[in-house]
Amino acid sequence: MIFRAKIKLTDPQIGADQMIPVTEQILKKVITPRPAESHKGNYGRVVVIAGSHTYGGAGIMSASAALYAGAGLITLISDLVNRTALHAQHPEIMFADWTDQKLVTQLIDGANVIVIGPGLGLDNQAQELLTLTLSQVINAQTLILDGSALTLLSQTPEKKIQSDAQLILTPHQEEWHRLSGLNIAEQTPAKNQEVLAAKFPESTILVLKQHHTQTYADGQIYENTSGSPAMATGGMGDTLTGIIAALVAQFKQPVDATVTAVYLHGLAGQVLAETQYVALPSQLILELPVLMAKYSLK
């Protein structure tokens, strides 16, 4: 299968910009039918720390994408102002006030996958939540860093980010510019890999979002082939974080789950773009369970 071909980019035969194209085969491989004897506890606890007073929608979009992509239990940790809006749309998702540090710590401890950053903002409260989360996560957990969390990280004086958790970074090109110091024209595969290795733990997965999103993991680069310009709408990346979280929570292997989530997100956007000029994130999530059922049956 092409997408898991064992090409090491350090191999002298292979150029540093050699990428592995990701096709719909990845969905068939990773998304499997659910065993009859199972319960919500088998499909992962996802915690989303997101959505300030101004950007409440970002937290709701991330958490609802995790819901529609199949995570077993989801809690949104957010500004209290967002609780009613969340529950008016998705009563399935639990809510916690992000100023309650004791509760936030408990929820982080009990999670399999944590998302932090969509619409988090850049104020002291946001910085405190990021510091708490980074210090709290352990190696059995996956931490997805997006949006404001990446911007905050780019402002830290530390040269290398330390964490025991499996980190997944999901910057768009401008966020990666801030984090890496590479402007968009300088963001070549070789330079991206160099900065990733210098600034983050070895196991870190980088999802560099763009028209054909590139995922850097285990010394390899996977190039997504799904997606549409109809997806160029605010909230589309917030939505991706929830899909990645749900797939990691359910299918465990983080690289396969991440690459699959990126492909699935793009495919759902493409389905909408067949009949719509613009694909809204809140519509895109409705396509996810349908596509997942289709590909789980091969």
CA 123 to CA 210: how far, in whole Å? 27
- Cβ(150)–Cβ(171) below 8 Å: yes
Q: Give one DSSP letter per residue of 160-178, joined into a string.
A: S---SSEEEE--BHHHHHH
| 118 interacts with ligand NAX by CB under 6 A | yes
Q: Which residues bind Mg ion (CB under 5 A)?
A: 147, 237
Q: CB under 8 Å to 275, separation ≥6 — which residues?
A: none
| 55 interacts with ligand NAX by CB under 6 A | yes
Half-sphere exposure of 169 (CA within 13 A, CB side): 31
What residues from 49 to 78 belong to the interface with ligand ADP (CB under 6 A)? none
Indicate which single residue of 64, 82, 204, 228 sits in contact with ligand ADP (rule: CB under 6 A): 228
CA 77 to CA 130: how far, in whole Å? 12
**Residue 213, binding choice from ligand ADP, ligand NAX, Mg ion, none, Cβ under 5 to 8 Å by partner class:** ligand ADP
**220-224 vs 214-217, strand pairing mode:** antiparallel
Nearer to Mg ion, 31 or 207 (CB): 207
Nearer to ligand ADP, 43 or 222 (CB): 222
Candidates 87, 104, 128, 131; CA nearest to 48 is 104
CA 198 to CA 192: how far, in whole Å? 10
Nearer to ligand ADP, 255 or 262 (CB): 262
Report phi then psi at 22, rounded to 5. -100, 125
- For the bound state, the minimum distance from the C-beta of residue 118 to Mg ion, rounded and expressed in Å, comes to 7
Pattern 124-163, ligand NAX, x by CB under 6 A: -----------------------xx---------------
**Residue 238 in marked binding region:** yes
Among the residue ranges 73-81, 130-138, 160-168, 232-240, the one whose residues contact ligand ADP (CB under 6 A): 232-240
Chain contacts with ligand NAX (rule: CB under 6 A)? 55, 57-58, 118-120, 147-148, 172-175, 209-210, 234-235, 237-238
Chain contacts with ligand ADP (rule: CB under 6 A)? 147, 172, 209-211, 213, 227-229, 231-232, 234-238, 240
